[in-house]
Chains A and B, each alone.
Chain A
Amino acid sequence: MSATTLETVYERLAEAIDATGSEKETLLLAKLALLLAEALGDPDRVVGLIEDAARDLD
C-alpha cells in the first residue's frame, strides 16, 4: 500500500470517529478490527498486532 492510500485510511478513520461520537466510537473500532482480521485471514498476526497496539498508550 502506498503512503497516500494509508493516509486516506487515517483520514477516513478520523472522520468516522468524529461522526460516530465518543459513546459509540469503541464499538465502531471493535467492529473494524473484526472486519480487518477477517479480511486478513491470519489470526496469529492479528494477535501480535493487538500487542503492538497496546504499547505506549500513555
Chain B
Amino acid sequence: MRPEGRGELDSLYFTYPTFDAPERRDHLTDRAAVVIVGGGPVGLTAALTLARCGVPSVLLEAKSTYNDGSRAICIARQSYHIFETLGVVAPFVDKALGWTTGRTFYRGRQILEFEMPDGPHEKYRPMYNLEQQYIEQFLHEAVRANPLIDMRWQSEVTGIGDEDGGVTLQVRDANGTYALPADWVLAADGARSAIRGMRGLRFSGQNYEGRYVIADVRMHHDYPTIRRALFDPACRPGGTVLIHRQPDDIWRIDYQLRDGESAEAATREDAVRASVAGVLSEIGHEGQWELEWWSVYSANTLALDDYRDGRIFFIGDSAHIVPIFGVRGLNNGLADAQNIGWKLARVIKRTAAETLLDSYSPERRGATLDVFANASKSTRFMTPPTRGWQVMRDAALSLALNHPFAGAFANPRQMTPYTYADSPITLADRDGFACGPTPGAVITNARLDDGFLSDRLGPGFTVLAFGALDEEERIATVDPDATIVTLDPQGETARAYDAEAGTVYLVRPDEHVAARWKRATGGDVAAVLAAILSGQGAGQ
C-alpha cells in the first residue's frame, strides 16, 4: 500500500518500467521444453539456471512490471553464489548493502550483539540488503539479454492439463488466448499459486498468531547496516520491532500488531504513520521522513507435501511459505530454482536419467522443514504463542540485561544453507574426516592465489583433487562437462578440508558436496558420478 494520492507503482526511488504482451503471435504455441509460470525472483532465477545449461524456456508473467513493493530485502551469501554462477552478481555487489552484525534491545537497552560467520576466506558477506524490485530488475536484465529465454509479460496461465508426455497450458494475454504445450512446467507463481489450486493441491502446516506491518520509509538516518530488533520498546509495549537499512536511504520498519488489533485498522495510513513515528522517536531519529510503502505479513509455516506433481515442479513461494524472521522466504526459493534447474537441464539434454529429478522434492522439502524448525523457534521468541512461551521469553530478555548467556536466546538464527545428508544422490562418508564440508553440505570457501576456491568451480560437477589424481581421464567418459581442480595437498585449503595427497571432493553444480574420499582415483569418482546421473543414487 502507498500513501493517499500515490498509485501502486508511485515509488519515491524506483521507476517502474512497463512491459507489453508479445506482439508477434506466430511462435506462441510452439511446444516448449520448459515453461516457467511466474516471473518473480524465483522464476527468473530458474530461467537463467536452465539457460546457463543451454536449455531454452518460456517464462510467463501475469503482471506488466516488477513487484509493487520491496517485500523481501535480505539476500544471503549462498544466494550471491547462485547469482555469480548465473553471471548476474555484479549489479547486486554494486547496489546492495552487505552486513554481518545484529543488535537486540530490550526496553531500550542492548542485550545482544551477534556476528554472522564471516572471514577472509569468504568471497561474499553473510547477508545483503536490497529492495525486491532491484532483485527482480537485475535478474530480468539478464533474462532479457538471453536468447534462450522467451519471457512473455502480461501473460496469465488460466488452465493446465496433462497430456501424454507433457502438459498443456492455457495462456491469456492482452492480445488473446492460446494453448501452449510443454514437456515440463516449473510453477513459480508465488504464495497464491494458481497452478497449485488448479491441480487441487493444498499446503499443510501452521499459521502463527503474530502479524507484522512492514513499512518502508525514506530518511537520512545515520546508523550502519546493522539489523536492529527491539523487544518491548516504549513505542510498542509488549511488542517487537525490526529495523533494516536498505539502499537509496530507504529503511524497513517491521512491527508486530497487538493481539486483537485488526489488520485493516492497523494498515490505514494514519495508523501506520503514527506507529512509524513512534519507532523513529524511539531510535532517536529527529529529522524528516517520508512514507514509501507498507504491507502486512503473518508468520506461517506452510508447505506442499510433495513439490512435484507429474511433470510439474513447484518452486519458491508456490511450494512453501515461511516466516520472515531469519529471512528464508526468498533465499530458500532461489535455492529451489537452482536445484531443479541443473537437474532438469541434464534430463532434457539426456545427460542424466529422469530419476535424477526424484531428488528435487526430498532435498528442497528437507530444506524447508529445517527452515520451519528454526523459524518456529524465532517466531515463538518474537511472538510467544501462549503464556508458557511468553513467561520464558520475558525471563530470558530480563536476564539478558545482566547475563550475556541469556541474550543468545534472542539470536534470530539467520539462514544457513541446508545439508542434503539424506538425499539419494549424496554418498555418506566411508572414510573418517576430522573436518571439511560433509556430504550434502555446501562447500567451504577458501582463498586461493588472487581469488577464491569458488571462482575455480566449473559450470557442471567439479572434482576437487588434492594432489595428482590417478585415472583422471575416466571422469570425462562419464561426464564430459565435469571440471577437475587440482589443489595443493599441503596448504591451508587442505587443512580446512582435512585433505592429504589423493583426497577428493565431488562437488555438484549447486556447490553442495556429493561425495568425498580420503584417497580416490578418477575411477572411483566416475563410478559415483555415473550412479548419480543414471538416477540409481550415489550409494549404488
Chain A residues with a Cβ under 8 A of chain B: 26-27, 30-31, 33-35, 38
Contacts and interface: CB of A to CB of B under 8 A. Distances in A.
B405 A30 contact: no
Interface in B369-410: 391-392, 394-396, 398-399, 403, 405-406
Chain B interface category by residue count? 10 to 19
Tell me the dominant secondary structure on chain A's binding face.
helix
Contacts of A38: 403, 405-406
Given A34-B399, A35-B399, A27 B394 contact: yes
A26 B396 CA distance: 13
Nearest to A31: B395
B391 A34 contact: no
Contacts of B405: 38
Nearest to B395: A30
A26 B391 CA distance: 7
A38 B392 CA distance: 14
Given A27-B391, A27-B395, A31-B395, 6 more contacts: A27-B398, A30-B395, A33-B395, A34-B396, A34-B399, A34-B406
Contacts of A30: 391-392, 394-395
A53 B301 CA distance: 33
Contacts of B399: 31, 34-35
Nearest to A26: B391
A14 B42 CA distance: 59
Interface in B271-288: none
Contacts of A33: 395
Nearest to B387: A26
Contacts of A35: 399, 403
Contacts of B394: 27, 30
23 contacts: A26-B391, A27-B391, A27-B394, A27-B395, A27-B398, A30-B391, A30-B392, A30-B394, A30-B395, A31-B395, A31-B398, A31-B399, A33-B395, A34-B392, A34-B395, A34-B396, A34-B399, A34-B406, A35-B399, A35-B403, A38-B403, A38-B405, A38-B406
Interface in B104-140: none
Pick from B392, B395, B396, B405 the residue with the most CB of A within 10 Å: B395
A38 B407 CA distance: 13
Contacts of B392: 30, 34
A34 B406 CA distance: 8
A50 to B, nearest CB: 12
A13 B398 CA distance: 19
A51 to B, nearest CB: 15
A31 B395 CA distance: 5
A35 B392 CA distance: 12
B232 to A, nearest CB: 13
Contacts of A26: 391
Contacts of B406: 34, 38
Contacts of A34: 392, 395-396, 399, 406
Nearest to A28: B395
A6 B392 CA distance: 25
A33 B406 CA distance: 12
Nearest to A33: B395
A10 to B, nearest CB: 21
Interface string B469-513: 000000000000000000000000000000000000000000000
Contacts of B391: 26-27, 30
Contacts of B396: 34
B381 to A, nearest CB: 14
B525 to A, nearest CB: 42
B259 to A, nearest CB: 19
Contacts of A27: 391, 394-395, 398
A36 B405 CA distance: 12
Contacts of A31: 395, 398-399
A26 B387 CA distance: 11
A47 to B, nearest CB: 14
Closest 4 pairs (CB-CB, A-B): A30-B395, A31-B395, A31-B399, A30-B391
A46 B395 CA distance: 17
Nearest to A37: B405
B358 to A, nearest CB: 39
A24 to B, nearest CB: 10
Interface in B402-439: 403, 405-406
B247 to A, nearest CB: 40
B410 to A, nearest CB: 13
A30 B392 CA distance: 6
B393 to A, nearest CB: 9
B30 to A, nearest CB: 62
